[in-house]
Amino acid sequence: MGMNLTSPSQVKAWCIEHDFHPNRTLGQNFLIDRNALVAIVDAGLADCPDAGGAQVLEIGPGLGVLTEEMLSRGCSVTAVEKDPVLAERLAASLGSPANLTVVAGDALDFIADDRPPAEGRGPREFTHMISNLPYQAGTRILLELVLKRALPSMTVLVQAEVADRLAAKEGSKTRGLAGVWAQLDYDVKLVRKVAASCFWPRPAVGSTVVTLTRHDRNIALSAEERAFFHRLTKQAFEHRRKQLGSIFKDMIKSSARAEELSNEDWITLAKGLLNENA
């Protein structure tokens, strides 16, 4: 019988036995709550009645608590783990199932691989991403995936403040670049909060389960328009306390600040400026 990955005592005992110390730099906080675990996977597979057809990317599997649950439902899982010790133990600890592939390496390198899905690399081969993202690199990993628009569905466990920024609408104090970029191609939904006590080691803050579902409302945007949208919003949010008219002086006449504009406003603005300079 394998280790109960939602048992704090068993997780701690394994770490002691193998002289393994969770790495804060890698953002290693292991989920040890069964209810939260089930909620994440349920949310991630909500659009997939037949979980056996789900091709899931998992980033930062750690000891494999999410991995084990997804495998038990029949998903095919590719788990990308940066920590070499955890990557080496993962498959064997879960019984070396045929529907599990472990990739030892940096998730950002994996995401950057743009080879065709037929060659079995990169994010485009997956139908879902379900992950307890590492705290330190989680936002960057998620935004890299968002910019690629590679995955139809992403369900992630992230710090509560990150989740709030991803879902923030115009006019909100938490509205920022992450939310603007994510919402360009994804509908963002906050599913449920997960208390800090549900992790070991216990982090300083709580987390939230977030789903990002790809939409096609902006599919007609050209590559040039997308690139300009990203440049424009990046510059605006770098000076978020200033009015847009002060940031873009000769380009925009507006007393609004960056967080006050909706994505539709930004798209209209980007298109208009491109047409003026065409």
**Cα separation, 188 vs 211, whole angstroms:** 6
Domain ranges of the chain: 8-214, 223-276
CATH number of 223-276: 1.10.8
pLDDT at 1: 45
pTM over 0.85: yes
Phi, psi of 157 (to 5 degrees): -105, 115
**Cα separation, 76 vs 97, whole angstroms:** 10
Nearest by Cα to 234 from 158, 162, 172, 147: 147
pLDDT at 72: 94
Q: Could you tell me the CA-to-CA distances from 248 to 180, 183, 226, 255, 271 in Å, in that order?
A: 18, 23, 19, 11, 15
Phi, psi of 182 (to 5 degrees): -65, -40
Nearest by Cα to 245 from 278, 275, 269: 269
pLDDT at 251: 85
The answer to whether domain 8-214 and domain 223-276 are alike in fold is no
Establish whether the linkage from the previous residue to 97 is cis, with ω within 30° of 0.
no
pLDDT at 120: 60
Architecture label for domain 8-214: 3-Layer(aba) Sandwich (3.40)
Q: What is the pLDDT along the chain (278 residues), one digit of tens a residue?
A: 478 988 989 988 888 888 888 887 777 889 999 999 999 999 999 998 777 789 999 999 999 999 999 999 999 999 999 999 999 999 999 999 999 999 999 999 999 987 666 666 677 789 999 999 988 889 999 999 999 998 999 999 999 999 999 999 999 999 999 999 999 999 999 999 999 999 988 988 999 999 999 999 999 999 999 999 999 999 999 998 999 999 998 788 889 999 999 999 999 999 999 988 76
Cβ atoms 111, 144 nearer than 8 A:
yes
